[in-house]
Amino acid sequence: MPDTAADSLPPLRRYLALLAVVIAIWAVMVDAMAISVALPILARDFGTGAAEVTWVVAVSQLVTVSLLLVFSRVGEIVGYRRVHQLGLLVFVAATLGCALAPNLPLLVAARGLQAAGAASVLALNFAMVRHIFPADRLGWAIGLVATAVAVASCLGPSLAGIILAVADWRWIFAMTVPLGLTSLLLGGLVLPPTTGSPQRLDGPSAVLSAGTFGGLLLALTGAGHGWPPAAIAGLAVLGLAAGTALVLRLWQAPAPLLPLDLFRLPVFALAITASVSAFAAQMLAYVTLPFLFLGVLGLTAWETGLAFSLWPLALAFAAPLAGRFADRLPPAPMACAGMLVMAAGLLLLALLPPTAGLPDIGWRMALCGIGLGLFQTPNNRSMLNAAPRHRSGAASGMIATARHLGQALAIALATFALAASPVAGPVFALTLATGFALLAATITILRGRLPRA
């Protein structure tokens, strides 16, 4: 069981440690989400189609989802701080590679390496916080980190729009390097050391886990890119076979790589499923809205960035309120209301008239931000609090896996929609996103009917 001296840290160091974690989140998440706005520009500069350039986003999601649970388990074994800092170093180096990539294949390769570093950071965010703060401040800290993740996810496209209005797309990557270096240096000074468990990493389970997520998500992505049916079927069979073998291998393990022990807790299982659906809805919008704004509605890059900025601004207003009341009120009703509001915003975006201007777009984007802000904090709190303390790494890794699994699923679906029709595809994707948001609301209602722990 990991141990830490975080509770005895002076308050100043405690808050500096939290700052290091939050800055790392911002470096990783802003970069991951910002590049989606530049996809049409990347397609133009590299001379490729809309479906092909989505690999810049898809490879990141594929690698991240495949490695999150692996790194969460490695963190439990060797210590959270060590894995977090090493991953951040890899992320910074790979980000420089992305900024300097001369062609699309090398950019995709650099994004894959970048995603490996990001996975080790994202897998341990909440585990680090649980060992930084004492129990009486945990709810507040969870809410703050969840807010940082959500705001960074939504703010990235807005910053990208501003950068693209005045500079080359390469500066989207360059802007995150100083953030990563700052977190790396600060974390080395103030993050509390954690000791690992004496257990060894289950190598075959790690391979099976990567094969499960990688195979299934590659099959979905390949379907969107029009791969041969035999290749798609082969990848799907590989993913299902690896997943079946993984479950059989880990079914009786006391602390399995795939946290089957946590999925036996109904609150945890339903909250994870709702998170997958919510972030699928978010990413469907984020991948396809730039094509709608720039290609169909005729907005400029600056106007697109301004439109996107209203989503995180609204989220930044709603998320602290959700965090403030998450420890006082039942979390399920708040999270359900958030998803209903987000579903309304997504549906209204899908119904935008061809002559829509920034005011018409802006208040719809704000609705989506308010909804996601109300959902994120109480849902993450439910997931982390449902897990035993010594399984914090597994719970944290699964929270990140749920987010990225939903986003990876959304990218595959968005690729399929854009390949079918660059004009009608965004509207179809937004309608599908509305359905995912409503599914998340329904799952949250079911979770609310369970007895409170």
Q: Following DSSP, what letter does each residue of 163-228 receive, concatenated?
A: HHHHS-THHHHHTTHHHHHHHHHHHHHHSPPEE--SPPP-HHHHHHHHHHHHHHHHHHHHHHTT--
pLDDT value, residue 453: 46
Torsion of CA 175, 50, 62, 446, to 10 degrees: 100
Which strand (E) or helix (H) includes residue 385?
A: helix 358-386
Number of H helices, E strands in the chain: 19, 2
Residue 297: phi and psi, rounded to 5, are: -85, -15
Other CB atoms closer than 10 Å to residue 260's CB: what's the count? 15
pLDDT value, residue 95: 94
pLDDT value, residue 132: 82
3-state helix, strand, coil in the chain (%, to 5): 85, 0, 15
Torsion of CA 130, 136, 141, 143, to 10 degrees: 110
Would you call 3 helix, strand, or coil by DSSP? strand
pLDDT value, residue 440: 95
Which strand (E) or helix (H) includes residue 4?
A: strand 3-4
Residue type, 116: A
Residue type, 98: C
Q: What does the angle CA 20 – CA 11 – CA 1 come to, to the nearest 5 degrees? A: 70
Report CA-CA distances (Å) from 340 to 59, 155, 318: 31, 22, 14
CA 364 to chain centre: 22
pLDDT value, residue 87: 92
Other CB atoms closer than 10 Å to residue 379's CB: what's the count? 31
Q: What does the angle CA 449 – CA 281 – CA 370 come to, to the nearest 5 degrees? A: 75
Q: Along the chain (453 residues), what's the average pLDDT of each consecutive run of 10 residues?
A: 47 85 88 80 83 81 83 82 91 93 91 92 80 72 70 73 84 91 92 72 80 83 77 90 86 70 82 92 89 83 80 78 69 88 95 87 92 85 72 74 82 80 84 95 82 51
